[in-house]
Amino acid sequence: MNSTAHVQQLNPNAIALCSLGRWIASRHWVPATGGNFSIRQGDNMALVTASGKDKGELSPQDLLPVSWQGAQLTSPLGTPSAETALHAQLYQLDPAIKVVLHTHSVSATVFSRIITAPQHAFIGYEMQKAISGINSHEQALPLTIFENTQDISALAQQVQQRWYQQPLHFGLLVRGHGLYVWGHSLEQAKRHLEGWEFLINCELEYLKLTGKP
């Protein structure tokens, strides 16, 4: 292990993100190495999960430092997530973002295919208040769905464009792919993940039982 990787072993942010990864995996939201996580390390850098790792079995050296200051989103310590460009985009859009979490739950994936519109409004759920800035179940809470693509830089650009048109409410879906959430702290990102998952599950059940969107 080189000295940078050794320092990572002691980084409290890295340790906390690995622990959150185990919790997320215990909910079955990152099967088959799906998903990726990151945590900001200063103005222009984040620790990003290594590509292809089981996100429920991460150790701190699997979190790779990536800077978005240069042209390349690479790491000297390994190959970061294939979706690093989307993480880097979100950090650049809002300097207050501390953590980005991407998951592949069955519910989020199926929901993103059932809803064919580019966004879905949640209304009437008390749990909407788990999302920062929402204070009432009567306040419509839209979740935007982007089309899936293997061109993550193109997806990151679409997210940037949408960001300036309307709030994304700390989450977005990629159709047939999964959920992205973020937060201004690890705890807030975890709450947004659990909140969005709960809302998506409720809406799926509602659709199944009533047939009504």
Q: State the binding string over 170-209 for ligand L4RZE5RM (x if CB under 6 A, else -).
A: ----------------------------------------
By C-beta, is 122 or 180 nearer to ligand L4RZE5RM? Answer: 180
**Order of strands across the sheet that contains 99-103:** 63-67, 45-49, 36-40, 99-103, 178-183, 171-174, 141-146, 119-122
CB of residue 92 vs Zn ion: minimum separation in angstroms? 20
Judged by CB under 5 A, the stretch of 71-79, 86-94, 109-117, 170-178 that binds Zn ion is 170-178
CB of residue 141 vs Zn ion: minimum separation in angstroms? 23
What is the maximal distance between C-alpha atoms in the chain? 58
Is 32 a binding residue for ligand L4RZE5RM by CB under 6 A? The answer is yes
CB of residue 57 vs ligand L4RZE5RM: minimum separation in angstroms? 13
CB of residue 82 vs Zn ion: minimum separation in angstroms? 8
Report the site for ligand L4RZE5RM in 36-95 (rule: CB under 6 A). 36, 49, 51-52, 81-83
Nearest 5°: phi and psi at 67? -105, 145
Terminal CA-to-CA distance of the chain, rounded, Å?
A: 53
Gap between the Cα atoms of 175 and 73, Å rounded: 24
Match 């935007």 to its residue by tokens. Answer: 144
Contacts of 13 (CB under 8 A, 6+ apart): 39, 41, 47, 186
Report the site for Zn ion in 72-111 (rule: CB under 5 A). none
3-state secondary structure 11-43: CHHHHHHHHHHHHHHHCCCCHHHCCEEEEECCC
By C-beta, is 127 or 193 nearer to ligand L4RZE5RM? Answer: 193
Contact 54, 67 (CB under 8 A): no
By C-beta, is 82 or 140 nearer to ligand L4RZE5RM? Answer: 82
Residues that bind ligand L4RZE5RM (CB under 6 A): 32-36, 49, 51-52, 81-83, 102
